[in-house]
Structure 1
Amino acid sequence: MTLTPTDPAAAGGLPPTEGVLHETVLPAPGSGGRRPPFLRIEWVDDETGAVGYLVIDTLVHGMATGGTRMRAGCTVDEVADLARGMSNKTAAFDLPVGGAKGGIDFDPKDPRAVDVLTRYCEAMRPFLDNHWVTAEDLGVSQERIDTVFARLGMRQSYHAAIERSPDPRATADRVFAGLNAYAPGGRLGDVVGGYGVAQAALAAAGVRGWAVPETTIAVQGAGTMGGGAAFYLHEAGARVVALADAAGTLYDPDGLDVPGLLDARDEYGEIDRTAVPSRVMRLPREAVLATACDILVPAAVSYAITGAGCGDVRARIVVEAANAPTTADAELDLTARGIAVIPDFIANAGAVAWAWWLLLGQVGEDYRDSFDRLRTRMDAKVSSLLTGWTPSAGPIRWAADVSARSRSAEPLVVP
């Protein structure tokens, strides 16, 4: 395991866990203005050769939060980009925690995947015990990561925060109840992120004055985030005309039966084609990005929209549900064409915001409280960014940048 501290404070170890505010780091000379992450770790699995990474981008009160992904080809640069995005998400929603991300270069469908994830988490145990709150991400379901935590004798993947509570067992029970509470569309902990993305899209449509039933949507990805976004957009009355999974794009200009398609998914978010009505067109996987629609929701892999392919995008607004789905050059090109891109650290931040609201006791088992709070916050943020925006002002991401925002130095208290 290689541990690379990229901040002077890291050379002497992580700071104490209580009452520490570590967030603003000056850019390193020659970095082009981008500050380095707080800490990077590389891990190699002795049994499979899989390589894993942990990047802690910022610490606030000695804590950072961010999911753990698993995919073949995952790189440390990808994980660092995602960790930086997590810092932006937590700052944008005024959460008392910094940003981090875990990633493993390994096929999540491999039968050895759970054991690889277990060994990775065991290696990261000092951080998971005290500094890093993780959760599901691409290739790693919440159920899978909680299974691994149980194997290692930890209460849940929010372990580091839960252990700060005066009564960790009671807090763990409260968090578990919230995660597993009923919500339309599924388990609250699974669908709340997609609900937030749907509200971001609906807020954008509202700013443009589009009637919801006439608003057309294309969603890339039918997993937790993409499936949830498609479900709640469909429930709101919008017309989801395209939905893509790893096997291809399903397209119907009259609108897809989203609940029916989601019911036909397997554990990897792939839709059983035998359950797809004959009227639905079956197109190549990449076709979803070129769908003529009002709003495109990339909710699958990072860097899906690149400079080479962004000319095919025909949506009027892109709402980023995946982490870093649009490369910087593609975003500039889309902006120049008048296509608004609602950045990921706003649009898909609902899951992390809700998780910390749950940890801090601000929401509970009633999904209506969580949905009301998230809808209000997302509508306000997206509306303020999009209202009056013009392409000449540059990407919306620039106006939304919160990287320099400071947060309260009051101690983090988990009830």
Structure 2
Amino acid sequence: MHSGRWDSTDEAQGPIGQEVVTNFLDASPAHEVTWTDPVTGASGYLVVHTLVGGLATGGTRMRPGCTISEVGDLARGMATKTSVFGLPVGGAKGGIDFDPRDPRAVGVLERFCSAMLPWLDGHWVTAEDLGVAQSRIDEVFATLGLGQSYHAAISRSATPEETLHRVRDGLGTLTDDGLELGEIIGGYGVAEACLGVADSLGWAQGETSVSIQGVGTMGGGAAWYLHEAGVRVVAMGDAAGTLYCPQGLDVPALLDLRDAFGEIDRTKVPGDVQQLPREAILSLPADIFVPAAISYAIREENASEIAARVVVEAANSATTPEAEAMLTSSGIPVIPDFVANAGAAAWAWWLLQGQVGSDPQDSFTRLKTEMRSKVAVMLGEWKGMGIAPRETGRVIAMANHAQLEGVEIFIP
């Protein structure tokens, strides 16, 4: 890779022509499946954007109002994500239009997965997502006799039992902080994307400020590791509102106050922390803003409120295209979700292929190296040529996808 602009005639990048764009990133999904729950009437969707070697990967989410259009956008994002990181697997996504807090939610998820069994058995590697915990997914897979949600890939392994053992060991490995590696690796990747931004723009970590919308797996994990790195996390937002302290929040203490649904107990928040409305987080001053809660959090009607100098997307599709165009024209680059939040997906595949194991430091080092290098390339193009990070990321994805077409997937 080099610092000049990439285009379809750039021989150093290989055959990245209009045909690749049409057939891959901008193509219609390879498969769409719509399901209706016979008990509750809830709708569920599976969208497989691309298959590589017969496999696609992407989580399963559950939220009220989930649509097939949303799931399709997320599946395309997964296809881009796997390609940017050079993973030999396509992109997919599952979604269920149902409230995960409803006591019937577990049954809905079980029936959805049962209906998707042919895909889960042979082609679709899924995992946790919004409203669905990894532990819940694995419980459902156990009832289906599939063992673990990576089953479609594990079953292709030369040694399925050894691979399953390696995956379970990796997911359950504890870090030095006593956290499960599989639970926090995605948030760690987001933190490294933020630190990569600081490095690329010449900001000292101790003088860099970050605001984070969302305190769940991604947002909470990113906040934890940024705090550990000495970055000032000045604002954290959840469904109940925004917590703000310009000197920096005590991130570990606030994360300890989260309930089962990821909301911070306001009765125990220190008095020096300002409690503001939920939307206030958009306009608070910070070097980096991390939307880590919901899709389409930054929209055309609120993009002008963003006060940060850089946006790092931790949530899938956190910024609408119209809003991103507004930010870009205002000199605010957006590090796209398919890079910033790809840590968990990339790590899972490295684990499946035995490229990392149960030593957390190996995983941290691998992800740090790959995440920072990609952020550096994107911001290098932004600083040098004014090319939006998303466009540079798409070029990388198309180049990698072209090389992966026809590749036979090998899992030891």
Could you tell me which amino acid in structure 1 is paired with residue 282 of structure 2?
L
Conservation of the 8 A alpha-carbon contact between 2:36 and 2:43? yes
Distance 2:209 2:337 in 1: 20
Is 1:397 the counterpart of 2:390? The answer is yes
Question: For the structure 1 residues 391 and 138, does the alpha-carbon distance in structure 2 shift closer, same or farther, using more than 3 Å as the test?
Answer: farther
Distance 1:179 1:141 in 2: 13
Distance 1:47 1:87 in 2: 32
Please name the residue that 2:29 is paired with: 37
1:287-313 deviation digits (Å, cap 9, x = unpaired): 112111000000010000001100000
**Residues 156-171 of structure 1: matches in 2 within 5 Å?**
156-171=148-163
Secondary structure class of the residue paired with 1:352: helix
Conservation of the 8 A alpha-carbon contact between 1:331 and 1:395? no
Could you tell me which amino acid in structure 2 is paired with residue 151 of structure 1?
T
Please name the residue that 1:16 is paired with: none
Distance 1:169 1:316 in 2: 48
Distance 2:61 2:114 in 1: 16
How far the C-alpha of 1:265 sits from its partner, in A, is: 1.2
**Residues 258-337 of structure 1: matches in 2 within 5 Å?**
258-337=251-330
How far the C-alpha of 1:391 sits from its partner, in A, is: 9.6
**Could you state the TM-score of these two structures normalised by the residue count of structure 2?**
0.91
Q: Quick one: which of 67, 83, 89 aligns to 2:59?
A: 67
Distance 1:92 1:261 in 2: 34
How far the C-alpha of 1:403 sits from its partner, in A, is: 3.8
Could you tell me which amino acid in structure 2 is paired with residue 274 of structure 1?
T
Secondary structure class of the residue paired with 1:136: coil
Conservation of the 8 A alpha-carbon contact between 2:63 and 2:98? yes
Distance 2:227 2:199 in 1: 16
Secondary structure class of the residue paired with 2:403: coil
Question: For the structure 1 residues 26 and 327, does the alpha-carbon distance in structure 2 shift closer, same or farther, using more than 3 Å as the test?
Answer: closer
Q: Using CA pairs below 8 Å that are at least 6 residues apart, which structure has the higher relative contact order? A: 2
Q: Mark the runs of 5 or more structure 1 residues left unpaired by the alignment.
A: 1-23
**Could you state the TM-score of these two structures normalised by the residue count of structure 1?**
0.91
Secondary structure class of the residue paired with 2:262: coil
Percent identity of paired positions between Structure 1 and Structure 2: 59
Please name the residue that 1:203 is paired with: 196
Conservation of the 8 A alpha-carbon contact between 2:382 and 2:388? no
Distance 1:359 1:210 in 2: 36
**Residues 14-413 of structure 1: matches in 2 within 5 Å?**
27=22, 34-185=26-177, 186-390=179-383, 393-401=386-394, 402-403=397-398, 405-408=401-404, 409-413=406-410
Distance 1:281 1:398 in 2: 38
How far the C-alpha of 1:258 sits from its partner, in A, is: 0.6
Secondary structure class of the residue paired with 2:95: strand
How far the C-alpha of 1:27 sits from its partner, in A, is: 4.1
Conservation of the 8 A alpha-carbon contact between 1:335 and 1:394? no
Q: Quick one: which of 398, 407, 414 aligns to 2:411?
A: 414
Question: For the structure 1 residues 217 and 184, does the alpha-carbon distance in structure 2 shift closer, same or farther, using more than 3 Å as the test?
Answer: farther
Could you tell me which amino acid in structure 2 is paired with residue 87 of structure 1?
A
1:173-203 deviation digits (Å, cap 9, x = unpaired): 1100100101245210010000011001001
Mean Cα deviation higher: 58-67 or 392-401: 392-401
1:128-151 deviation digits (Å, cap 9, x = unpaired): 000000000011111111111112
Could you tell me which amino acid in structure 1 is paired with residue 90 of structure 2?
G
How far the C-alpha of 1:166 sits from its partner, in A, is: 2.8
Distance 1:55 1:286 in 2: 31
Distance 1:123 1:241 in 2: 45
Secondary structure class of the residue paired with 1:297: strand
Equivalent residue pairs, number = 389
Question: For the structure 1 residues 229 and 85, does the alpha-carbon distance in structure 2 shift closer, same or farther, using more than 3 Å as the test?
Answer: same
Mean Cα deviation higher: 45-54 or 164-173: 164-173
Please report the RMSD computed on the Cα atoms of aligned residues, expressed in angstroms: 1.7
Could you tell me which amino acid in structure 2 is paired with residue 235 of structure 1?
E
Conservation of the 8 A alpha-carbon contact between 1:71 and 1:108? yes
